[in-house]
Structure 1
Amino acid sequence: MNERTEHSMNSTPEGGGQYYDAVVIGGGAAGLGGALTLARARRSVLVVDAGQPRNAPADGVHAYPGREGTPPAELLADGRAEVRGYGGEFISGSAIAAERHEDDGFRVTLAGGGELRARRLLVTTGIVDELPDVPGLAELWGTDVLHCPYCHGWEVRDRAIGILATGPLAVHQALLWRQWSTDVTLFPHTMGEPDEQQYEELAARGVGVVAGEVTALEVRDGRLHGVRLGSGKLIPCQVLVVTPQLTVRAGLIASLGLESTDLEMAGQVIGSRIAADASGATAVPGVWVAGNVANPTDQVIAAAAAGVRAGAAINADLIAEETRRAVAARRAPFSAQLESEVCEVVLGDRRHGL
């Protein structure tokens, strides 16, 4: 396999204006899954990676058979090496816009001012976690401030876990996290008091409820020690669970003419997503999406699988296009116009007794 080197945003990709079969925008698990699939299909592939993975603060990737507990950076480095091994290329930076080109391909504009050309696009730019407005949350995000028990529950088992309520799913969260610890406390915060049935369910499972708005986090030696209420009272806890708003990175998406749609859970809008079919194909021909940009609640392994599906679908779409062109080229010498011209010549010769 011929290896290709990584490019910086200020340089021209190898081949100077090369027209790639596919450009993958986003180098996380979904992007790498798509790029690997396409590269193994002998397609020319370039991955544009801003180097800002959503799970960067996490200690490891979980529920990924064979790679359980692998640090996110290590998993991505291994994936990049695998893509390069099949001839895939990488460029570090951000794609800020994309538009259809006159030849039915796409022109991608980079933040540094450069441009790329591609026959197909796979967008795997992920989402942004918009955290509740409580001082101290962002600094502990991914370590002691968490959101997904399947991603982090085992690592914080048996600790004192607080649930910061910001919507109607908070009681469900509290009951869910109770699976990993007997010490779970619900802070209604801005949600309002649970109703009678919810109180009964929480009590039956041994989940405490502490009224009052959380105004700050108490941090000692870089770790969460407790939450401070508006009354000034400190409630000890080691882990705080929050529900971030899961928002699609909109810039590039909007330039392609795609619009995000609301993502709902139990009747509550928890974020946004780009609508696509099972393969990741969007409403814009030639554009696929995969990973959290399409399914914000997917874990890493699901995002990688979605990238693989999208890569296979893109390859199939390219094959269909290439087959149409090959058939047209094969038929060209026997076109209707040429047959008419030949017939005219033959009939003309016969009219002259030849």
Structure 2
Amino acid sequence: MDFDVIIIGGSYAGLSAALTLGRATRKVLIVDSGKPCNRQTPHSHNFLTHDGEKPADISAKAKAEVLAYPNVKFTDGNVDQARKIMDGFEVVLETKETFSSRKILLSTGLKDTLPAIKGFAECWGITVIHCPYCHGYEVKNEKVGLMMNGDHAFEMAKMISLWNSDLTLYTNGESQLTAAQMEKLTAKSIKIIEDEIIEIEHHHGILENVVLSKGDKIALKALYARSEVSQHQAFYTQLGFELTEFNTIKINEQQETTAKGVYAAGDCTTLMRSLSVTNASGAMAGVMINREMLAEDF
């Protein structure tokens, strides 16, 4: 085998796992496309010792720390195929380079499919945001909106009201809220608008107005929204593991997928997409992968 472990995805979870495995003297290869899902986000929050830093700066520092271990290698590129072979796994890059390993760790993040609303993509991760724990403090006490519907919208509105009293819920079409939910939201002075949002006016990602289908323009500081998520590549069909109903990779408490020897960590396994959670899951995966190889070899 060329390596003990190949890590597909070299952002926070992958680098955290590589650090753990590198310090365990394992021979590791990280393959990374260089396109993390938070590359447009200007600042990271809720991560001890890094609060307010640029995500790219955090990952650059982490990469330098990890590559200080001579047994950890890093290559830029995309993995085209990953497959099971005798006693391990083989990955084939788009360049046709081929590498083998005993174990595989997937830390590939999630692919966001954004609504086809003009200006949405340009503001995503900047002023169109998904998580109040990551971004809420920076827009607290401001006029904000929430573009969601149904039960999820109700629960998010309840949460966001802790940070913002001037909150409007945009169901972006006919409301799917129950009468009881609408009554509770109204009692909390949370406005409900069913008109569709057709455009987000902005300046370099800084939201200025949301434009409704009837022509109204409403100035907002930020808009909470969610994206549809999927896996970046069909490794689940190539390697034979399962996904959850949320399109995340199904793992156990040891970060192992339903395919023996294939582990996963970070955003590809959870909708709780924060750096602290991602970092911890990578460290756990590194420990558990090393533990499995020790059990095989001892």
**Shared fold per TM-score greater than 0.5:** yes
Q: CA deviation at 1:246?
A: 2.2
**Structure 1 segment 36-47 matched on structure 2, within 5 A:** 36-47=19-30
Q: How does 1:1-354 map to 2 (within 5 A)?
A: 19-87=2-70, 88-102=72-86, 104-192=87-175, 194-220=177-203, 222-263=205-246, 272-323=247-298
With 20-29 and 201-210 compared, the bigger mean Cα shift is at 201-210
**Post-superposition offset of 1:139:** 0.9
* AA in 1 matched with 2:12: A
Distance 2:177 2:165 in 1: 20
Q: State the shift of 1:216 in Å.
A: 1.4
Q: 1:273 and 1:220 mapped to 2: Cα distance? A: 33
- Give, in whole Å, the separation in 1 of the partners of 2:256 and 2:205: 44
Find runs of 4+ consecutive structure 1 residues off by over 3 angstroms.
none
Letter in 2 for 1:301: S
CA contact (8 A) 1:122 1:287 kept: yes
For residues 121-177 of structure 1, give each alpha carbon's deviation from its aligned partner in whole angstroms, at most 9, with x where no partner exists. 111001012222322111110111111000100111122111112443112222211
CA contact (8 A) 2:122 2:204 kept: no
Q: Which structure is larger by alpha-carbon Rg, 1 or 2?
A: 1
CA, structure 1 residues 222+95, in 2 after alignment: closer, same or farther (shift >3 Å)? closer
Question: Contact 2:174 / 2:194 at 8 angstroms: preserved in 1?
Answer: no
1:327 aligns to what?
none
How far apart are the structure 2 equivalents of 1:221 and 1:81?
31
Asked if 2 retains the 8 angstrom alpha-carbon contact of 1:175 and 1:205, the reply is: no
CA 167–136 in structure 1, closer or farther in 2 if over 3 Å, else same:
farther
* Alignment size in residue pairs: 297
Partners of 2:294 and 2:177 lie apart in 1 by: 56
Cα deviation digits, residues 64-83 of structure 1 (max 9, x gap): 11111121011111111111
Using the TM superposition, give the Cα deviation of residue 54 of structure 1 relative to its aligned residue in structure 2, in angstroms. 1.3
Equivalent pair of 2:148/2:172 in contact (CA under 8 Å)? yes
Q: Partners of 2:115 and 2:149 in 1: how far apart?
A: 8
- The percent identity for this pair of structures is 33
RMSD of aligned residue pairs (Cα, Å) = 1.6
**Cα distance in 2 for residues equivalent to 1:222 and 1:260:** 33
- Return the TM-score normalized by structure 1: 0.80
1:80-138 Cα offsets, whole Å, 9 max, x none, are 11111122110001112111222x11110101111111111111001012222322111
Q: Is the 8 Å Cα contact of residues 96 and 251 (structure 1) preserved in structure 2?
A: no
Q: Is the 8 A contact 1:165 1:190 kept in 2?
A: no
Q: How far is 1:193 from its partner?
A: 5.6
Q: Is the 8 A contact 1:212 1:231 kept in 2?
A: yes
8 Å Cα contact 1:193-1:211 kept in structure 2: no
- What SS class does the counterpart of residue 248 from structure 2 fall into? strand
Q: Which amino acid aligns with 2:248?
A: R
The residue matched to 1:142 in structure 2 has which SS? Answer: coil
Contact persistence 1:165–1:191 (CA under 8 A): no
**Alpha-carbon shift at residue 234 of structure 1 (Å):** 1.4
Matched residue SS, 1:24: strand
Larger RCO (CA within 8 A; separation ≥ 6): 2
TM-score (norm 2): 0.94
Tell whether the 8 Å contact from 2:173 to 2:194 is kept in structure 1 after alignment. Answer: no
Instruction: Report how far residue 191 of structure 1 moved.
Output: 4.7
Paired with 1:191 and 1:43, the residues of 2 have a C-alpha distance of 55
Q: Distance in 1 between matches of 2:220 and 2:147?
A: 11
* Unmatched runs of 5 consecutive residues or more in structure 2: none
